[in-house]
Structure 1
Amino acid sequence: MALAPVAASAHSLDEVLSAKTLVVGINPNLPPLGVYDDKNEITGFDVDLANKLGEMLGVEVKLVQVGSADRVPFLATGKADIVLGGLTRTPDRAKVIDFTVPVITEAISALTLDSKPFKSMDDLNSADVNLIEVRGTTPVDFVKTRLPNAKVVLFDNYPDAVRALFQGRGDAIVDVVDYLGRYTANYKDATRVLTDATASVDYDCIGVARGNDALKDWLNTALFSLQSSGFVDVTYKKWFGIDMVYPIHPNPYF
């Protein structure tokens, strides 16, 4: 869908408070941000954050399902007051919707076992290193450019790739490591994350309709409080299984 200017037809802060309801767009197909549980209810990091925001506002939270393609249209048509779902702040999107301060980050790093000798991402750029990657993913191309000397072993999915790492069939997995934490929980070996000094960090924010300033300002204030108190970090580790690889440092200026 081509990006077009988004009118602020979602509810304003005053309207949300008056209706005592905050409508939140959640992607249930993006675990652990959003996922259906065994009761067919949406759970995940985004749901915990949305419920906390609703509690702070003193309103009921109503969840609506969104996909990657319809997050912006849901704001445009007023089907959602705010949208989560790994919404990365980009210049093109900022032309048509507004963003809060960042909630979480996404960037490529490396997951290795604590028993391995590697200290930095650059240590993986060796012909003696076997990297475990998932076939068809963006990190495969990243490795070819960033770590051209390493050998690559491809697997069809993330559970198999993580299992191979713990079985010693490779030295590290280069990917957005945050999303691998839930696959490592059943293994006893300790892991270590290698960050990349050259990483291009994506900042995922809450999306609001363009011009819905009062609601955006309140959300920024609330997020600063939740980041400063540790709520975001604790909730992140609860769902992702690890600390945020590229953490956000709360800044009172927003």
Structure 2
Amino acid sequence: MTKHWTNKTLAALGLGLGLLAMASQGAFADQLADIKSRGKLQVAVDTGNPPFAMMDAEFKPTGSEIETAQLLAKDLGVEVEFLTVPTSGRIPFLVSGKADIVVSTLSITPERLEVVDFSIPYSETTIIVAGPKEANIASYADLAGMSVAVTRGTVNDTKLTDSTVDVPNVQIVRFEDDPTSSSAITSGQFSIYATSRPLLQQLIQSNPNLDIEEKFVAQAFPLGIAIRKGEPELTNWINAWIKTNLDNGKLLDIYEKFHGARIDVDKLAAMDLPR
């Protein structure tokens, strides 16, 4: 039986994580100093989200998020340790103290800001709805009577859930991570997919005979580095680092290397951020 997350369920999860975050704050007085003293930056990342993060032929992590975190650690003067987590475990892993930061395609949303702090935007992602080429799908309203695959706990999930409240007979089927939800599409189990544009592009590239295409854009989101609440020194350092590496083009080069396009810095700066 597929578990569906209602808004009340998500709110309850946010409250639980928020209480955990508050309880954990006392144990992390100055995370920046701790990282430097340890000589290692522990980064939580979901490696099932190409081209942001994936495993290469030698089973080593690669992707734009991986190289972003590697550059951050280098400039901080420490080694980097990647901690692989499922999509739904990115924030819980951080809040519980198992990682220092999360660099894992995390959109900055009001719900997440109740639980963790975010850096300023350093990248972006666009979420879309995809379906068969002949399907007449131009908006969420056109999903009436359809089954839609989505990865649990993502902004794709939240946007899909909120936007289909009044659409009749939409069945939202949630999977625990992107590889599993993508497999449901490639196997033919589902034909409608709420996902990110980069992930869809990778899916089509790997499966050129797959009958799927982008049907409409749901929303563009700024991405931020997630940090536990109550860590102003670490947050300020990361924010200054992002500004420097957007200005000098290093973050833009990393993104272009894996995505084949360059981030529009002015557009990124103009994106509406939660208050």
Indicate the TM-score class for this superposition, using the shorter chain for normalisation: 0.5 to 0.7
Q: CA offsets per residue over residues 130-183 of structure 1, 9 Å max, x none?
A: xxxx974669x8xx99xxxxxxxxxx858x9xxxxxxxxxxxxx9743445555
Q: Does 1:220 align with 2:234?
A: no
Post-superposition shift, 1:249? 3.7
Structure (1 or 2) with the larger CA radius of gyration: 1
C-alpha separation between the residues in 1 aligned to 2:246 and 2:95? 28
**SS in structure 2 of the partner of residue 223 of structure 1:** helix
Q: Tell me how far 1:106 sits from its aligned partner.
A: 2.2
Task: Tell me what 1:165 maps to.
Answer: none
Q: Which residue of 1 aligns with 2:17?
A: 3
The count of residues paired between Structure 1 and Structure 2 equals 201
Please identify which structure carries the higher helix content.
2
Tell me whether 101-110 or 236-245 shows the greater mean CA deviation.
101-110
Please state how far the C-alpha of 1:231 moved relative to its aligned partner: 1.3
Distance 1:232 1:181, change over 3 A: farther
- 1:226, CA displacement in angstroms? 1.0
Unmatched segments (≥5 aa) in structure 2:
1-12, 130-136, 139-146, 151-155, 165-183, 189-193, 209-213
Quote the offset at 1:184 in angstroms. 5.9
- 1-structure distance, mates of 2:205, 2:54: 18
Which whole-Å CA distance do the structure 1 matches of 2:235 and 2:109 have between them?
17
| 1:178–1:242 contact (8 Å) kept in structure 2 | no
Residue 177 (structure 1) aligned with residue 197 (structure 2): yes
CA distance in 1, matches of 2:197, 2:125: 9
Could you tell me how far apart the structure 2 residues matched to 1:90 and 1:208 are? Answer: 14
> Which deviates more from structure 2 when the two are superposed, residues 7-16 or residues 28-37?
7-16
The answer to whether the Cα contact below 8 Å between 1:224 and 1:250 also exists between their aligned partners in 2 is no
Structure 1, unaligned stretches of length 5 or more?
A: 111-123, 126-133, 146-155, 161-173, 188-192
Q: Are the equivalent residues in 1 in contact too, given 2:124–2:223 (CA < 8 A)?
A: yes
Alignment RMSD (CA, Å):
3.8
The structure whose residues are more often strand, as a share, is 1
| Residues 135 and 157, structure 1, Cα contact 8 Å, conserved in 2 | no
Q: With structure 1 as the length reference, what TM-score do the two structures score? A: 0.64
C-alpha separation between the residues in 2 aligned to 1:108 and 1:92?
17
Q: Distance in 2 between matches of 1:31 and 1:217?
A: 29
What SS does the corresponding residue of 1:38 show, helix, strand or coil? Answer: coil
Counterparts of 1:62-141 in structure 2, within 5 Å, are 62-108=81-127, 136=149
The one-letter code sitting in structure 1 at the alignment partner of 2:18 is A
On the 8 A contact 1:35/1:42 being kept in 2, the answer is: yes
Q: CA deviation at 1:243?
A: 3.0
Summarize the Cα distance change of 1:30–1:176 in structure 2 as closer, same or farther, 3 Å threshold: closer
